[in-house]
């Protein structure tokens, strides 16, 4: 069939004797026998100039990887398909899959799960064939070349089920010589969804033509994970000369001089534009910082994220946090994601973008939000997280009525314990022990089962083991910050413990700490709780919407633990592991009674009260220019305007 197809492409071969299945060379008229040679038939397409390299993204569109442009190869395949291109290369596919429902789309494979290897753009698609898949590359300068073949098994699975029983085996021929026999991608790559490339040195090109053929010899399986899964698969092809291409010396000098002049003009224009807009040094700093990170997450392209979010469609907007807008998206494999788009003009945003990636990329815990990857292209700064169906805890407790959730008592208790376990992990169990610095209800996300996950690590600080505390500029949210940190910049794990205590009170009461003021004598919800403790009437704190449908003993435990956590002295606050133990009933809760009026004056709440009365939302400190900032130094304090988060990752 291949010979017949090639004859049909050659102008001289319009007739052939096929009677009695006579496919021998003698059945072809003598004038046409010369066209049975591939190189001569391809020779009918003249070359305007020789080329010395070629990069093909098999089965996919045009992509740029590591500065190399891979040409598109996204035409539909078929059981007998020959696709000529305008780029001096062709692809031929032969063979029909053993499946009655096969369509032309089944000759191109797409990844079915998130790919986390380097250069994943090359492996999200692959070209398939049931029998033989051949690439003809023309107009190559004669000489030796290095041929690199890129593979990744993205169809067969390894999930300990029937879908993992498949085994794809095929042979690889280059210039008619078999170079790989019984080749198994999964075996070579040591698993599925993992990249593997095989490099062939000193591949000789004569007659300006290179032929690369992938052939299924009937080995391996044919029906796993589904019927018709077999045959060769290739993700990308790289061809590069092993010699310096010949050039006319004078022409080369003119080209080099012209290119240098044009390059310098463009560089000065770009640098001038960036300098004028104030973006130059911020961008350089951001890219240097990203290169310095040992990332354990994937790198997404801006094109992938635009496709997932429908080009950041307003209909997909989940909310707007202190550092940017959050969008809902869907990856090609169906995975739901949340994309946080940070402002590229904010210096603070750059710092927090890099900090958040570095902090969370290696964290794995049921109560810590999972980071899938990031993107830093042009003026776009993007973080890609797992999608949380039930938004954040603040909306669930005291948001607008249409977004509030009816949280029963067992759910509230589970949320409290989950947040405590997440913080205990960050403080004591994580390989990178850290202080979060911004624990609040908007930074606790809820998944589809209303399980809590701590998010927004843009302000987190790593533990410095040689120091008992960290002296740092103040950053956080008024109403949740520990007083010793808000007033003096004294930061320890106990700052997060304090913030947790405030959040625990909000969960029990269903009220916002900074918004709830029973009368002018109270600063906040915590202040009211201290008064109720003095009166011996802590049960009055419990959310009235629960009625009598709550466990009084469990409610009292949470309230007492919350008051312990918010003690003005960090030394008297428990660790988060001790908090988990008390909440789960493994250890008793000890009580320390304090005077609410003395507490409020001593720890400086009155200094924030008048400021807070002018605003209706919790305030974030050390945010981008669009959010409230309070920057402490030895001789100055700056307070800026504020915005709040609806879905603050």
Q: Which of these ranges, 159-168, 214-223, 255-264, has the smallest mean pLDDT?
A: 159-168
Burial degree of 356 (CB within 10 A; 0-12, 13-18, 19+): buried
Phi, psi of 525 (to 5 degrees): -60, -40
State which H helix or E strand residue 237 sits in.
strand 236-241
Taking alpha carbons only, the member of 158, 166, 169 closest to residue 191 is 158
CA distance 72 to 424: 49
- Residue 93 near residue 107, CB atoms below 8 Å: yes
CA distance 264 to 6: 49
Give the active site residue among 193, 438, 456, 612.
Answer: 438
Model confidence, pTM: 0.51
CA distance 612 to 480: 13
- Domain for residue 92, yes or no? yes
In this prediction, residue 590 carries a pLDDT of 84
Q: Does the pLDDT at position 378 exceed 90? A: no
| Last residue in a domain, options 241, 259, 281 | 241
Phi, psi of 346 (to 5 degrees): -95, 120
Q: Is 42 left (phi over 0), alpha (psi -120 to 50) or beta?
A: alpha
- Residue 437 near residue 460, CB atoms below 8 Å: yes
State which H helix or E strand residue 174 sits in.
strand 170-174
Helix axis angle, 249-277 to 280-291, nearest 10°: 110
Which residues are CB-contacts of 222 (< 8 A; sequence separation ≥ 6)? 98, 228, 229, 230
Helices assigned H by DSSP within 229-311: 249-277, 280-291, 302-308
- Domain for residue 168, yes or no? yes
Kindly report, residue by residue over 330-365, the tens digit of the pLDDT.
Answer: 999 999 999 988 755 444 455 566 666 766 776 889
Shared domain for 489 and 607, answered yes or no, is yes
CA distance 399 to 402: 8
- Residue 300 near residue 382, CB atoms below 8 Å: yes
Q: Is 481 left (phi over 0), alpha (psi -120 to 50) or beta?
A: beta
Average pLDDT for residues 574-586, to the nearest whole number? 96
In this prediction, residue 578 carries a pLDDT of 97
3-state secondary structure of 468: coil
Residue 541 has a CB neighbour count (10 Å cut-off) of 21
Average pLDDT for residues 42-61, to the nearest whole number? 84
- Residue 450 near residue 390, CB atoms below 8 Å: yes
Q: Is 449 one of the catalytic residues?
A: no
Shared domain for 208 and 311, answered yes or no, is no
- Domain for residue 261, yes or no? no
Shared domain for 192 and 328, answered yes or no, is no
Q: Which of these ranges, 34-48, 67-81, 409-423, 549-563, has the smallest mean pLDDT?
A: 34-48
Kindly report, residue by residue over 169-179, the tens digit of the pLDDT.
Answer: 999 999 999 99
3-state secondary structure of 67: coil
Q: Which range of residues forms the domain containing residue 474?
A: 302-639
Q: Which of these ranges, 9-23, 296-310, 426-440, 482-496, has the smallest mean pLDDT?
A: 9-23
- Domain for residue 74, yes or no? yes
- Domain for residue 621, yes or no? yes
Token pair for 156? 């067969």
Q: Which of these ranges, 74-78, 159-163, 348-352, has the smallest mean pLDDT?
A: 348-352
3-state secondary structure of 629: coil
Average pLDDT, the chain: 79
CA distance 300 to 64: 13
Q: Is 340 annotated as a binding residue?
A: yes
Q: Give percent of the chain above pLDDT 90.
A: 48
Give the pLDDT band of residue 256 (cuts 50, 70, 90).
Answer: confident
Rounded alpha-carbon distances, angstroms, from residue 238 to 92, 106, 160, 199, 200: 18, 24, 34, 9, 10
CA distance 363 to 328: 22
CA distance 343 to 380: 7
CA distance 599 to 522: 12
3-state secondary structure of 99: coil
Average pLDDT for residues 448-467, to the nearest whole number? 74
| Last residue in a domain, options 219, 241, 263 | 241
Q: Does the pLDDT at position 149 exceed 90? A: yes
- Domain for residue 311, yes or no? yes
Give the pLDDT band of residue 306 (cuts 50, 70, 90).
Answer: very high
Average pLDDT for residues 408-428, to the nearest whole number? 96
In this prediction, residue 587 carries a pLDDT of 94
Write down the residue that tokens 């947040």 correspond to. 419
Average pLDDT for residues 441-455, to the nearest whole number? 94
Give the pLDDT band of residue 12 (cuts 50, 70, 90).
Answer: very low
Shared domain for 231 and 317, answered yes or no, is no
Kindly report, residue by residue over 531-570, the tens digit of the pLDDT.
Answer: 999 999 999 999 999 999 999 999 999 999 999 999 999 9
Shared domain for 386 and 525, answered yes or no, is yes
Token pair for 301? 């392209």
Token pair for 210? 């290179």
Q: Does the pLDDT at position 606 exceed 80? A: no
- Domain for residue 254, yes or no? no
Q: Which residues pair with 454 in a beta bridge?
A: 368, 444
3-state secondary structure of 332: coil
- CATH number of the domain that residue 418 is part of: 1.10.510.10
Q: Which residues pair with 132 in a beta bridge?
A: 94, 215
Q: Which of these ranges, 16-25, 59-68, 514-523, 578-587, has the smallest mean pLDDT?
A: 16-25
In this prediction, residue 35 carries a pLDDT of 42
Give the pLDDT band of residue 110 (cuts 50, 70, 90).
Answer: very high
Please state the domain count of the chain.
2
Strands (E), 278-400: 298-299, 317-320, 324-330, 336-342, 371-377, 380-386
Q: Is 184 left (phi over 0), alpha (psi -120 to 50) or beta?
A: beta
- Domain for residue 6, yes or no? no
Q: Which of these ranges, 56-65, 269-278, 553-562, has the smallest mean pLDDT?
A: 269-278
Rounded alpha-carbon distances, angstroms, from residue 49 to 52, 73, 341, 488: 10, 22, 45, 71
- CATH number of the domain that residue 169 is part of: 2.60.120.430
Query: Within a 13 Å sphere around the CA of 226, how many CA atoms are in the beta-carbon half?
Result: 7
Shared domain for 236 and 384, answered yes or no, is no
Shared domain for 210 and 324, answered yes or no, is no
Shared domain for 527 and 387, answered yes or no, is yes
Rounded alpha-carbon distances, angstroms, from residue 331 to 249, 319, 370, 648: 50, 20, 16, 21
């Amino acid at each position: 069939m291949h010979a017949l197809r090639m004859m049909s492409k050659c102008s001289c071969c319009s007739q052939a004797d096929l009677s009695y299945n006579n496919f021998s060379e003698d059945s072809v008229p003598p004038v046409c026998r010369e066209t049975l040679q591939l190189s001569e038939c391809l020779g009918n397409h003249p070359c305007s100039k020789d080329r010395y390299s070629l990069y093909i993204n098999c089965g996919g569109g045009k992509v740029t990887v590591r500065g190399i442009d891979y040409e598109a190869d996204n035409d539909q395949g078929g059981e007998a398909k020959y696709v000529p291109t305008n780029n001096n290369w062709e692809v031929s596919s032969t063979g029909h899959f053993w499946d009655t429902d096969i369509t032309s789309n089944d000759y191109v494979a797409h990844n079915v799960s998130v790919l986390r290897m380097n250069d994943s753009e090359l492996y999200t698609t692959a070209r398939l064939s049931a029998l033989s898949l051949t690439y003809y590359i023309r107009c190559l300068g004669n000489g030796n070349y290095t041929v690199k073949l890129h593979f990744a098994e993205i169809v067969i699975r390894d999930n300990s089920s029937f879908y993992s029983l498949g085994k794809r085996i095929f042979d690889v021929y280059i210039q008619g010589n078999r170079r790989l026999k019984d080749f198994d991608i999964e075996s070579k790559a040591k698993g599925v969804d993992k990249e593997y490339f095989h490099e062939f040195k000193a591949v000789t090109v004569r007659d300006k033509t290179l032929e690369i053929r992938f052939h299924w010899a009937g080995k391996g399986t044919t029906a796993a994970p589904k019927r018709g899964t077999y045959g060769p698969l290739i993700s990308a092809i790289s061809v590069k000369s092993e010699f310096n291409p010949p050039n006319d010396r004078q022409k080369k000098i003119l080209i080099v001089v012209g290119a240098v002049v044009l390059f310098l003009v463009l560089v000065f224009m770009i640098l001038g534009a960036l300098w004028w807009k104030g973006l130059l040094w911020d961008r350089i700093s951001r890219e240097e910082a990203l290169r310095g990170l040992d990332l354990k997450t994937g790198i997404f392209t801006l094109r992938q994220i635009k496709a997932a979010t429908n080009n950041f469609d307003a209909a997909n907007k989940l909310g707007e946090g202190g550092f940017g807008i959050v969008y809902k998206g869907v990856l090609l494999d169906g995975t739901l994601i949340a994309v946080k788009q940070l402002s590229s003009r904010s210096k603070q945003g750059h710092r927090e973008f890099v900090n958040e990636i570095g902090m969370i990329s290696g964290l794995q815990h049921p109560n810590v939000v999972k980071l899938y990857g990031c993107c830093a292209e042009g003026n776009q700064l993007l973080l890609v997280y797992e999608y949380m169906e039930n938004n954040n805890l603040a909306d669930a407790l005291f948001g607008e009525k249409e977004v509030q959730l009816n949280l029963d008592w067992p759910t509230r208790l589970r949320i409290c314990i989950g947040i405590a376990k997440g913080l205990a992990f960050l403080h004591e169990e994580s390989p990178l022990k850290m202080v979060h610095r911004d624990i609040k209800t908007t930074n606790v996300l809820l998944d589809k089962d209303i399980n809590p996950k701590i998010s927004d690590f843009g302000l987190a600080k790593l533990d410095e083991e040689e120091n008992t505390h960290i002296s740092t500029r103040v950053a956080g949210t008024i109403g949740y910050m520990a007083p010793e940190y808000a007033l003096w910049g004294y930061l320890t794990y106990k700052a997060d413990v304090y913030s947790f205590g405030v959040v625990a009170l909000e969960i029990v009461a269903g009220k916002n700490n900074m918004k709830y003021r029973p009368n002018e004598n109270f600063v906040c919800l915590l202040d009211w709780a201290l008064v109720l403790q003095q009166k011996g009437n802590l049960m009055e704190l419990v959310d009235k919407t629960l009625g009598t449908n709550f466990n009084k003993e469990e409610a009292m435990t949470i309230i007492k633990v919350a008051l312990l956590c918010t003690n003005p002295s960090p030394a008297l606050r428990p660790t988060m592991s001790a908090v988990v133990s008390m909440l789960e009933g493994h250890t008793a809760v000890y009580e320390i009674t304090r005077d609410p009026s003395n507490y409020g004056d001593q720890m400086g709440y009155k200094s924030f009260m008048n400021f807070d009365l002018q605003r209706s939302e919790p305030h974030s400190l050390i945010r981008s220019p669009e959010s409230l900032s309070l920057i402490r130094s030895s001789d100055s304090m700056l307070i800026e305007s504020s915005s709040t988060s609806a879905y603050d990752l």
